[in-house]
Amino acid sequence: MSHYSHYPDYDVLSLINEWDDHTKEIVLKRLGPFPEPQFLEEKEVKMLRLIAKHLCYENRDDIIDWIIYFLDQRLKSNIGEHQRKSSLPQEKILIREGLKATDEATAQKYGKNFISAEIKEQFEILSSMQQGKAPMIPRWDSILQKELFDKLLDIMISAYYSHPTIWSEIGYGGPAYPRGYYRIELGWTDPWEPRRPGADKK
């Protein structure tokens, strides 16, 4: 997995002393260390780590740790899930049952469970779920595979793109209070913003 970036010299965390305390505290917590999962079980965590690697195209364990922590916190809490199709179970159940279904579908096709499957096989299973075409098993009757895929994607991608390492790689300026931006016109940057090597200093 390549980590090519337009901004190899940029580290958003080097700006942290310019951020307000509340934001600082929130962002730093994403770097760990994280407590043990409270909702997810060991086997679920193993599967979810692999799934996160595929969905986010990411191999770095510290970033996966944060994604799992975020997911666990969310599933543990009773705050709502904003919206849900009336035909679907609650997200806690969707994910827990969905992982069992994913394992069963992998076994159906490859004769092994998801964790023991080759990376390519895991990828095939996930891609087929996105299209609603995973190997047929009875559990898909109550767990809609595309909805499961989208739910995992939604939560994992939200966490992934909230990690400061990823902000640095994509060249996101990050939190900007109290400082704000002054040079917002096309082609202009404030002195602390990410710049490509060799770019004009405008």
Partner 1 sequence: MENKDPVQHNCDHYDGHRYKDMKHRKYGDKEVDVCIVGVGASGGVLVYELSKAGLDVVAIEAGPFWNPQSDFASDELHSYSLAWQDTRLSDGKDAIKFGHNNSGRGVGGGTVHFTAVFYRFHENDFRVKSTDGVAEDWPISYYDLEPYYQKIENDIKVSGPKELPWGTFRGPYPYPVREPISANSQIFREGCEILGVRSSVVPLAILSAPYDGRPPCTNRGFCNEGCMPNAKFTTLIQHVPKAIQHGAEILTDSMVTRLLTDKNGKVTAVEFVHDGQLYRQKAKVVIVSAFSVESPRLLLNSATSQYPYGLANRSGLVGKNLMVHSGHDVFAKFNEEIRLYKGTPVMAYTQEFYASEPSRGFVRGYTLNAHGNRPVALAKNLAVDGGYWGKGLRDVMLDFNFYAQVSLVGEVLPREDNFISLSNEKDEYGLPRPLINFSYSENDNKLIKDAVQKANDILSARGGKPAFVIPDSGHVMGTCRMGLDPEKSVVNSFCQSHDIPNLFICDSSVFVTSSGCNPTETVMAIAARTADYLIDKMRQGPI
Q: How far apart are CA 151 and CA 101, in angstroms?
A: 15
Nearest to 10 by CA among 173, 130, 175, 156: 173
3-state secondary structure of 149: helix
The residue within the footprint of partner 1, chosen from 34, 39, 110, 172 (CB under 8 A), is: 172
Secondary structure element (H or E) that encloses residue 75, with its range: helix 61-76
The residue within the footprint of partner 1, chosen from 13, 15, 16, 176 (CB under 8 A), is: 176
What's the burial of 176, exposed, middle or buried (CB within 10 Å: 0-12/13-18/19+)? middle
Q: How far apart are CA 29 and CA 153, in angstroms?
A: 22
3-state secondary structure of 53: helix
Contact 68, 48 (CB under 8 A): yes
CB-wise, 26 or 115, nearer to partner 1?
Answer: 26
> By CB under 8 A, is residue 115 in contact with partner 1?
no
Stretch that binds partner 1, among 103-111, 113-121, 136-144, 184-192 (CB under 8 A): 184-192
AA letter at 147: E
The residue within the footprint of partner 1, chosen from 50, 107, 179, 192 (CB under 8 A), is: 179
Q: How far is the CB of 35 from partner 1 (least distance, A)?
A: 18
> Between residue 7 and residue 46, which ones bind partner 1 under the rule CB under 8 A?
19-20, 22-23, 26-27
> Between residue 68 and residue 87, which ones bind partner 1 under the rule CB under 8 A?
70, 78-87
> By CB under 8 A, is residue 133 in contact with partner 1?
no
CB-wise, 19 or 140, nearer to partner 1?
Answer: 19
The pair of three-digit structure tokens given for residue 166, joined into one six-digit string: 């990823």
Q: Which residues bind partner 1 (CB under 8 A)?
A: 1, 4-6, 19-20, 22-23, 26-27, 54-58, 70, 78-87, 90, 123, 130, 150, 153-154, 157-162, 166-167, 169-182, 184-189, 193-194, 196
